[in-house]
Each structure stands twice: as C-alpha cells, then as structure tokens.
Amino acid sequence: MQTSRLLLCSSSASSSNQLLLFGSAVTLTLPSCLRFPSLSLTITNSTSSSIRFNSIRSTSSQMASKDSQDPRIARISSSIRIIPDFPKPGIMFQDITTLLLDTKAFKDTIDLFVERYRDQNISVVAGVEARGFIFGPPIALAIGAKFVPMRKPKKLPGEVISEEYSLEYGTDKIEMHVGAVQTGERALVIDDLIATGGTLCAAIKLLERVGVTVVECACVIELPELKGRAKLGGKPLFVLVEGEGA
C-alpha cells in the first residue's frame, strides 16, 4: 500500500506557509495573525481514503459538575477494605477498621449522617451491636439525641426486653434496657452494614413494641444483592456506599 506524507508547518517569521502534498510543494499565503503548530498526517492511498493523525493528545482537564457525587463518598468507599473468604469461604468481608484509621474518611462518615439527621427531631439513636456502637454515639451527640445500645443476649445488666430474629442457621436475639426509651420518641437505628436485614428488622420491632417511632435506618454499607432492604417492612433506609457480598 502506497502512502504519502502531508506536512503543515508554521513560521513566526513569515506570513506564508508551505504545504507538501504527495511530494509536490504548494505555497499558501495566510494572514500573519494565524499560526499553526506543526501537524503530521499520514494519508493512505486506498479506496477508503483514510487519514491517520499521529500522536495527538488532549491536555485539557474536565471540571466536575455541581451535580456530581459528593467527593466524601468516594473517600469513604476507598477506605473500606475487602477481605475475601472471611469469616468463611465465599464471604467478601467489608472491613471498616481501615475506615476508622483514616481520620478524614471517618469524619466524613459522621458528618454525612449528622447533616441528614440534624433537623429531623430525632431523640434516640439506637446502635446495633457491635459496630453500630462506633458510629452511633458521635452522631447522637452532634444532633442532641441520646444513644441506646441494642445488645446481644446477656450483655446488659438491667431488666431487658428482647426481639428474636432468624439467621442462616438458627436464631439470635437483640436486647434493650427497659426504660431506655419512651413512648412517642423518634429513633434512628444505625449499624455499619446491612446484608440480609435480620438485625435491623429486629431493632425496628423492638423499638416499635414500646411505642417509639423509627424514623429511618442508616448504614455505612449496603450489600444490595442480599436484599436486606426488603425485610425492613417499607422502613426508610439510608446508606453511604454499596459493597459486594457473598
């Protein structure tokens, strides 16, 4: 296949530019205000008459729009470590301990929740054991609510009420101190992650049994393929990032 070179050059000292086309020189007279950078093209003599531009790259950067995703979300997501096959084969464990080591990402996490719930007249932040205990207290302090721990059986020393929920194999319970909440209070239920939704569902039922209104559930991570959201009985769920489950 025969190819020919086409070369456009510009000289700041002259108002004319030389065009070499298929080996023949043609002089083009252009206004002195026009200057072109050197540009090399290869013209292929074929039926398609294709033209290939050699090594032309854009150096311009793109500005993020005002409607783009909050950059704090990306920082939070990138700080969460994924550990395959823990605690058993096939599980992709979402490890938030690396998020807690990143002071900026940890602060971003708390700030996003506080911004959402500050003006929702919430009087109770109920944290599900155990990692709900990490995120719940700073949120409660910031929005002026009390923190109520929702614990595993036989962990609370006083009189308790409990709610049972199903696991993959068998059942478990969460418990809350009697008198920790009052009828008519408005609660936020928080945990680090929602997978199958059993624990959050039990927390909702436990609070509603004593006349508390559950405003919303909140988690840092959701594993949407496990469909835990569907078990919440239509209760609103707010999450920051989506993860990969088993």
Q: Is 168 a catalytic residue?
A: yes
Q: Which of 131, 151, 185, 229 is catalytic?
A: 131
pTM of the predicted model as reported, rounded to 2 decimal places: 0.72
- Kindly report, residue by residue over 216-232, the tens digit of the pLDDT: 999 999 999 999 999 99
Closest listed residue to residue 145, CA positions, set 112, 106, 189, 177: 189
Rounded-to-5 percentages of helix, strand, coil across the chain: 25, 35, 40
Q: In 5-161, which ranges are continuous DSSP H helix?
A: 71-79, 97-101, 103-117, 132-143
Q: Is 185 a catalytic residue?
A: no
Question: Is 71-242 in CATH node 3.20.20.80?
Answer: no
- Kindly report, residue by residue over 175-192, the tens digit of the pLDDT: 999 999 999 999 999 999
197: region left, alpha or beta (phi > 0 left; psi from -120 to 50 alpha) = left
Name the more confident of 188 and 12.
188
- Kindly report, residue by residue over 97-144, the tens digit of the pLDDT: 999 999 999 999 999 999 999 999 999 999 999 999 999 999 999 999
Residue 76 CA to its chain's centroid (Å): 7
The whole-number pLDDT of residue 245 equals: 63
The domain segmentation of the chain, as residue ranges, is 71-242
The helix (H) or strand (E) run that includes residue 202 is helix 198-209
Q: Which of 116, 129, 151, 168 is catalytic?
A: 168
What SS3 state is found at 94?
A: strand
In order of 4, 139, 216, the CA distances from 203 in angstroms are 76, 18, 11
Contact 223, 195 (CB under 8 A): yes
How far apart CA 36 and CA 39 sit, in angstroms, is: 8
Closest listed residue to residue 192, CA positions, set 117, 115, 94, 75: 94
Residue 28 has pLDDT above 50, yes or no: no
